[in-house]
Amino acid sequence: MTRILVVEDNADLAYGLRNNLEIEGYDVVVVEDGTQGLARARDAGPDLIILDLMLPGLDGYRVLRALRDEGRRMPILILTARGEEADKVRGLRLGADDYVTKPFGVLELLARVEALLRRTAPPGDGAGEPEQFGAVEVIPASRTVLRSGRPVALTPKEFDLLLALLRRGGAVVSRMELLTEVWGYSAAVLSRTVDTHVAELRRKLESDPAAPQHILTVRKAGYRLEK
């Protein structure tokens, strides 16, 4: 059974999350602070973590950083406050795979959990010849990205997004197509997830993220990658 760790100090919200996730057939563990969350993440080996950022004691950012620094790659979905764009960006930079903004709908959260757990790539899909654009080299087989010969740390979803753009060979791909291909969302789930991840890719891979040369926006259409 798939195990999900919920780290949330709001008892009512945690109760609701547990109930809805258990109805979907998940084995759910709930803890109320960051210290417990980090310990359970290390000991229980969850398949996915739902992590509130604003926690007593050890906050969600430090939990996230500690887990990623230790090389733990389970998907992590962070919960952020409405309107706090900086929280989302900081969480993604520390290695979160996705975020949900409070208050959120149960169906949206369940869709994101399912998408993160789903194996989106068929067996062997990660293999392929290395590709290059500008100073960036992408090696699909090892899921490695180099910029001017130096490794760039991308989250799993950032790498999948980059690969999806590369495979289009310069053609435009819409935000909804990227949501479906990379995150597995249905058309009913609207999100700025793609935009946020594209911004992070530009920050890490472009010489001037404010004036990108390779990862380009096509107005009212989506994105394309220019080699």
pLDDT of residue 191: 58
The rounded distance, in Å, linking the Cα atoms of 43 and 227 is 44
Peptide bond into 103 cis (omega under 30): yes
pLDDT of residue 123: 41
Domains 3-117 and 131-225 share a fold: no
Report domain extents, the chain: 3-117, 131-225
The rounded distance, in Å, linking the Cα atoms of 161 and 156 is 9
The rounded distance, in Å, linking the Cα atoms of 181 and 194 is 11
The rounded distance, in Å, linking the Cα atoms of 133 and 137 is 7
Tokens of 22: 């258990």
Q: What is the pLDDT along the chain (227 residues), one digit of tens a residue?
A: 789 999 999 999 999 999 999 988 899 999 999 999 999 999 888 999 999 998 988 999 999 999 998 888 889 999 988 667 788 888 888 889 888 888 888 888 888 898 888 743 344 444 568 889 999 999 888 888 999 989 898 888 888 899 999 988 889 988 888 887 887 765 445 557 788 889 999 999 999 999 999 999 998 889 999 98
Residues 6+ apart with CB under 8 A from 194: 161, 175, 178, 179, 182, 223
Give the DSSP letter of residue 173. Answer: B
pTM of the prediction? 0.62
Tokens of 185: 């969302």
Residue range 131-225 forms a domain whose CATH class is: mainly alpha
Per the CB < 8 A criterion, the answer to whether 57 and 13 are in contact is no
pLDDT of residue 2: 87
Residues 6+ apart with CB under 8 A from 26: 1, 2, 3, 4, 113
The CATH architecture of the domain made up of 3-117 is 3-Layer(aba) Sandwich (3.40)
Does the CA dihedral 78-81-83-86 come out positive or negative?
A: negative
In a 3-state reduction of DSSP, which class is residue 137? strand
